[in-house]
Structures are given as C-alpha cells and as structure tokens.
Structure 1
Amino acid sequence: MTHVNSRRLALTYGSLLATGVLLTGCGVLPGTGEGEEAVTVWLMRGSASEDFLKRFTEDFEAGHGGITLDIRIQDWTGIGAKVTKALDEGSGESGAPDVIEVGNTQVPQYVEEDGLLDLSLESARDLGMDDWLPGLAEPGVDASRQYGIPWYAANRVVIYNKDLFRQAGIDDPPTTRAQWLDATRKLNSADTQGIYLAGQDWYTLSGFIWDEGGHLAKESSGVWSGTLATPAALRGMAFYRQLQALGGGPKDADEEHPPQAEQFARGDIAQIISVPGAAQRILQKNPELKGKLGYFPIPGKTSSRPGTVFTGGSDLVVPANTDDRDGAVEVVKALAGEKWNTELARTMNYVPNKATLADAVAGEPGVAAMAVGAAHGKATPRSPLWPNVEAGDNPIKEYMSKVLAGGDPSTEAERASREITDRLDERN
C-alpha cells in the first residue's frame, strides 16, 4: 500500500459520512475582479460538501477584502505525484496551489522535499497549537517547526450490536481491556460471534502497542529502526492475539478481505473495530439493524484513559514557493480556526482538530466516540520513507498472521523489525 493509499484507507469509512455533490475541477467562484488577489486552494474530494465550501468562501471573502478564493477539488488517485510537482514548480504555473490539504501522515514526505512553509509563527501559535490532536499535529512537525496545520480527524471505535449485548446481559459498554475481554467472552455463543477482528488489522494493533508504551519504529541519530520486538510492542501483540481469538476473523487477511462491515451486517456478530462511517455500509446491507448499532471508544488499560488509536485525517500546508504567503496563511487560519473547524466537523461528521472542541460533535454517538479516542491518538512514524513499509507486502501484516498462526512472537517480531528497518534506510 502506498502512502497515499494509506491515507485513503484511513478515511475510506469516514468519507462515507460525507453528503452532497462535491465540486469537480474548477474553483468555487468564476474568477477574480480587478485589483483582487486569488488564493488557490487544493482540497480533496470528500473532505467538505459543496454547501460548506460555498458558505466558507462567502464568509472568508466578506471578511478579507481584496482576496478571492479559487478552490479546486483533487482526487486521491495520483495526488502524491501531483503535489510533489506543484511543490517543485511553484507559483506562476496555471492552477498552482497556495494552500493544500494533505493526509496527516503525508506531511513528513513533503517536508523532506523542502517544499513546505514553516507555519510555526504565522499560524500555529495563533490557532492554539497546544490543544491540537496529537495524531494530526505530530506528523506536521519537523525539528520543532510546524509545517502541517491540523484540520480534521477520523479514527476507529467499536461498533456493536445493542440487541446482542442486551441478550448477553451486558448493560454498559466496557471501559477497560479486562472488561472488554470478559464482555466478548459472554457474547460468544453457538449463534453469536463475540467480535470479528481480522488478523492483519495493523492499525488496531498499533493502538495496542502504543498503549503499552511501544512503537512501530523509532529514530535515533537520524536512523530509523523497526521496534516490534521490544517488550512493550510484544505485549501489544499479545493482547491483539487474545482478543482476535475470541472471534472468527481470518488470521491471514485484513479487515477488507472480506469487508468486515458486510460480515457484521449478517446480524450474528456483536462487535467490529472500525470508523463509525462503516455503519452506513452495514445498514445498506441489512436495514433491519437500524437503531440497533452502538459505538464506544476502544477501551484502554484503565477506565481513566481510553485506548490509543491510529488517527487518520488531514493537515493544511502552504507550499514554500507560493507567491501569496499572507493570503495563504489567512486561509489556513480560517479553515483551521474554531468557527469553521467546528462547522466542518458538524457538517461532515468529523472530529475537530482540538479535543476542546469535541462538544461540537457530541450529538452524533459514533463521532462522539471517535472524539474520545482521538484525544489520545497517534499517527504512523514520521519517517518520510514510511510509505515503503506500507507498500506491497506490509511486513507488519505478515508478522501478525504468523504469530496468530502459532509462530513465536519474538522471532517473528525480530524478522519484521529488520524488514521495517531496511525499508526505512535512506541509503536503499
């Protein structure tokens, strides 16, 4: 899986929540008037509805006399190469962007290419950077400089069948790992599968590893190394194996082979781990489950802290070669500021860029559960070469399948860690 595809995977279900017909190709407005400057903004298809963009544009232009917006909707397919080209060629090219929405885990790649403007002083502090969701903010930092400004987030929660919980005598969703295992055991019966967890759901595994204080990879003196064989990471894998064994998910496939939402839609599975947007897919397959779906944050080791989750989402960046630095920064501040960030979250059922703004989505149970987890979210390692790990045969997936099939965890973790280290080696 390429880096771009990793970003697409993280938002696949979240994008199902989007409504409305999105803009295609050209800007929101027909052009600029005499004496006005246009700020060209690249946003990704599915990130914002047409109505949201229309309202934002009207409000922004009314408050920023002399600046008009040219918002251009981009497709995920091939976006990495397109952004890289824009960062290389810069202003003066037709349609060259001044602001770009990128996947949060893509930012290190573009920083490495020296293509982004350092926004630490111009917008990060003004936007309250200390309160940003860590899974959005951390990938945007390099050498204490903020290049990516968090925009919105999406992450996994537990989707559960309320009827099956009730039948098993479980009144409240679990809030600790121990409670989660106990509840899942109770949910298992001749007719019910307590949980469906595919063997290669490495994003979920990552959260368990982080909960234990481990990492997928770490950097030391500029060199990245795989760290799946540390005691902490092995404890995360041990919990994953324990939980996965309580269901019938395949050990040698990920959550989309077969699609876990469709498996859940049969009505005999009590839980899956997914983003809330999967509910739409479930209900399309089985409308009789309407009103029977519940959501709770992935439990942590104690009830005082939910489980750590992989945070997918978007950051806003400004190309270093923009010819409208001031206008671009103003657009970023407006999109990522409290007013329009919370409006985007409400409109699209996303998590806002700050935990302090979670009340904006409190009325949507699935998104509210997401927001609880997002407060403790993380992203993949900040190495610009991390896409090499996800590309093709992801060694983390292979490691998981081998352990679940009975392989020695330490031996398999060492093997996978060596492969991760090799793929993160800049000399290759």
Structure 2
Amino acid sequence: MKRQLIAAVGVAAMVIGLAACGSGAEKGGGDSAAPSSLTVWLTVDAQQNWPDLVKSADDQLAAKYPGIKINHEYYSWKDKSPKLDSVLATDQVPDVVEMGNTEMLPYMIKGALAELDTSKFENSGDWLDGLKASATYNGKTYGVPYYSAARVATWRKDVAADAGVADTPKTYPELTADLDRIQAKQGDKFSAWYQPSRDWYTAMSFVYDAGGAIAKQDGGRWKATLESPEAIKGLTAWKDALGKYMHGDLTKDDADRYIVYGLGQSAMIYGAGWEGGSAADPKFDKTGGKLKDNLASFVMPGPSGKSLSSFIGGSDLAVPVKSKARTAASEWIDFLTDAKAQEALIKAGNLPNNKTQLAPLKTDPKVGPSAQSAENNWFVPTAPGWLQVEKANILQNALQDIAQGKKTVEAAVKDMDGQIDAVINNA
C-alpha cells in the first residue's frame, strides 16, 4: 500500500500537545508494573488478513498480565494519521500504534514516540537496513519493523513474446535490448516501459544503484549530494530510459500507475509488488482480460550490474511517549514481530522484517522477486527537514523538468541540492 508522509499541519497540531509534557515520562507518560489495559492501533490489513496472529500476541501478553484488557482499534491508512495527531495532543493515547515506515520521521523528530530498547526484540540485530533506518533517529530507536515490501518489475509475457522475447531479463543490457525490441514492434504510441517522471522513488533507485545518495550526514548536519558524479550517472541512466521507452504523459506521478498499466498501452512497470495484480483486476484491465495470465514479475536489474536498489516499504510498530504501559506495549510488539510471528506474516503474503527469514524466500516462486529486491534497499534521509523536502516536491518537480527536456541533469541536480540544503536541517 502506498503511504505518504503526514501533512505538516498534522504534525504542528501534534506538537502542541507534546510541548506540555516534556519528555513524556514526567507528565502523562510512564510505565505500570501491572497495567490493567492496553490499547493497540493497527490498520485494517491486520484485522482482515492475520487476525489469528493478533490474537496470539494478545494471549501471550495476557498470560504475563492476568486480567489485562487489550483494546484494538483498526484504521485505514488515510484515516489513521489525522486521528493519531488529534489524540497525541491529549492523554488518551494508544499504547501501540502501527506506522507506515515513511510516516515515522516527523513523529520521531518531534518527540511523539518513546525510545525503545532493541535488545528486547527478537531479530533486532538482523532487521532489514531500510526498515531499521525508518525507525531510527539520532542513533536512537523509536519503532520496531513489523513487515516489509519491495519494488519489482512486472511485464506482459504476451507483448514480449510478440516481439520475440521469451524470458524475463536478468541484466540491464538484456533489459534494454528486450525493451528495444518491444518498442520497435509496438510503435511510438506504446510505452515499452511506463515510468512516470515524477516517481522519485524509481529515479532515486538509479542514484543509489550508481553509488550516489540523496543526502549524507557530516558532522551532525545533512548535506544534499545529488551533484556527485555517482548521482549524475544514475540520473542520466534513468533519463535515457524514459526518453527511449516512456511515451505517456511526462507530468504524471505513480499514484495511478496500475490503472494506466491496465489500459494495455505499456509492456512493463516498476513499482510495488501489488501493482501488477491490481492492474489485472477486472475493474482496471481494459485489455479484455489479457493481463490476468500474462504478467510476470522479476527482479529489476540495474545499470551497475546488480539488482536495482529498491526503496523499502513496510510498517513499524511504535509506542507513543505518553503511554502509561510502555513495558507491556513493548512486550506485545515483540510477540507480534518475533520469528514465529514473521512466519505467519510471510504466509499472509508479506516479506519479513529480517534478513535471516528473508533469505529462503528468494527462491519462492510467488515472492522470490520481491524478496531478492528487498535485500538491496535504501530509505530516505532521516533528517530533521526531510518532511519539508517532500512537501515542496523538490525532487518531483526537478525530475519532471529533466524528463521534459527543460533542464539538463547537471542543471537539475544543482537546483535540487540548493533547495534541499535550504530546508533539510530545519526541524
């Protein structure tokens, strides 16, 4: 599921409540040796897809705290953040809350979440790097990775076969050669690779593949690094691919990519693993049902010779700083994220939060491409002002300018670095 960082106005409202409670431990927060209740907020994904796992965590906690009442509230992603922002300004906070990994940063920065002891959580030394980064700020941990998701390439086997391509590509030269053949067969009105220009997750994957980064921390401050030779090399490869294979609207983002793919005017997309399946849903498949049996997912190869570094998605579980049952909350989180729990989440179609349990999935026919992609991952800079970078659409606007030929890569990265540096260190 696609997640966005929360709106700045929501964070501002949240901070009003936090300002009155200091660190949280002194006023409104703390711990109880024998908590009478625990309130857990999860998304509807858990309610619909792994309720038995939630019950198992409840039962284990109840065995340790006889008589404890565990209250569950379930929210859609769009409804949860506004609700959370409003209650964080009060003393009626949940004890455990599920957070999209891209939602964590502003809450960590503003002191809304309690610091957690990683030694209390199974697999903490083996968490996927990108997920660990999403729950870490200034060297402290404020969340526990719950499950993960990675990006994969998906293409139409029928369109490939019509161009004389039998197998999915394993290297970037193979990929571009195959896309060349598909593009030549289908003509200029068809996108061999439908890749929205404003999809900065993909563009930055090319940057990280080439050894670059959006920004790096030095001496306690963050500095944008898109003007580095490595970043320019990655963005140049990305630009070249768009120029050759993307013949759709160059002002688009990736929000409706699966819907556009369902129209049947493109052979390949690169995105979240669920997008291909959603495009094949009868509601969106406008090809007369051709997508259902003709889609194949594979690990996206990168120009570097390795798999393209994937933005890592997923969820974290956190404890609000005002919780009065922090120990019990942490224990419940461990029960929902330990190795046994991860096995249940894997069976439900998720990727695990750790490298050990991810490894054997790489050969699984269903999730192999996602598991392999998740191994080589990146995450956004955990900088105080990253929310401002996203809110201002700095990356998206510059990438669109590159794709439309309004700016060279070199001119665009100079502008991006300047705009990022102006806000990235400002909380």
Tell me whether 1:142 sits opposite 2:137 in the alignment.
yes
Match of 2:274 in 1: 277
Which stretch has the larger CA shift, 75-84 or 211-220?
Answer: 75-84
Match of residue 115, structure 1, among 112, 115, 134: 112
Any gaps of 5 or more consecutive residues in structure 1?
7-34
Q: Which amino acid aligns with 2:301?
A: P
Q: TM-score, normalised by structure 1?
A: 0.82
Task: Give the whole-Å Cα distance in 2 for the aligned partners of 1:282 and 1:99.
Answer: 34
Q: Which amino acid aligns with 1:395?
A: I
Q: Secondary structure at the match of 1:41?
A: strand
CA distance 1:76–1:39, change in 2 (3 Å): same
Q: Which amino acid aligns with 1:187?
A: I
Match of residue 148, structure 2, among 149, 153, 159: 153
Contact 2:43–2:98 (8 Å) recurs in 1: yes
Match of 2:252 in 1: 253
Cα deviations by residue, 1:391-424 (Å, 9 ceiling, x for unpaired): 15x1111111222222222112111211122232
Q: How many percent of aligned residue pairs carry the same amino acid?
A: 25
Contact 2:43–2:75 (8 Å) recurs in 1: yes
Match of 1:355 in 2: 355
Alpha-carbon deviation of 1:2? 6.0
Match of residue 233, structure 2, among 232, 235, 239: 235
Task: Give the whole-Å Cα distance in 2 for the aligned partners of 1:59 and 1:403.
Answer: 49
Task: Give the whole-Å Cα distance in 1 for the aligned partners of 2:49 and 2:315.
Answer: 19
Matches within 5 A, 1:406-425: 406=405, 407-425=407-425
Task: Give the whole-Å Cα distance in 2 for the aligned partners of 1:281 and 1:88.
Answer: 38
Match of residue 223, structure 2, among 222, 225, 236: 225
Q: Secondary structure at the match of 2:130?
A: helix
Matches within 5 A, 1:195-344: 195-247=193-245, 248-256=247-255, 259-283=256-280, 284=282, 285-286=284-285, 287-301=289-303, 305-344=306-345
Task: Give the whole-Å Cα distance in 2 for the aligned partners of 1:83 and 1:165.
Answer: 47
Cα deviations by residue, 1:95-154 (Å, 9 ceiling, x for unpaired): x2111111212323222222322223452xx41223211111112123332221111122
Match of 1:369 in 2: 369
Match of residue 103, structure 1, among 100, 105, 109: 100
Alpha-carbon deviation of 1:51? 5.6
Contact 2:108–2:137 (8 Å) recurs in 1: yes
Q: TM-score, normalised by structure 2?
A: 0.82
Task: Give the whole-Å Cα distance in 2 for the aligned partners of 1:237 and 1:51.
Answer: 39
Q: Which amino acid aligns with 2:231?
A: A
Any gaps of 5 or more consecutive residues in structure 2?
9-33
Q: Secondary structure at the match of 1:288?
A: coil
Number of residue-to-residue matches in the alignment = 387
Contact 1:345–1:360 (8 Å) recurs in 2: no
CA distance 1:321–1:260, change in 2 (3 Å): closer
CA distance 1:344–1:242, change in 2 (3 Å): same
Contact 2:47–2:74 (8 Å) recurs in 1: no
Match of 1:28 in 2: none
Match of 1:23 in 2: none
Alpha-carbon deviation of 1:64? 3.6
Cα deviations by residue, 1:3-55 (Å, 9 ceiling, x for unpaired): 1379xxxxxxxxxxxxxxxxxxxxxxxxxxxx97322111123x323362245
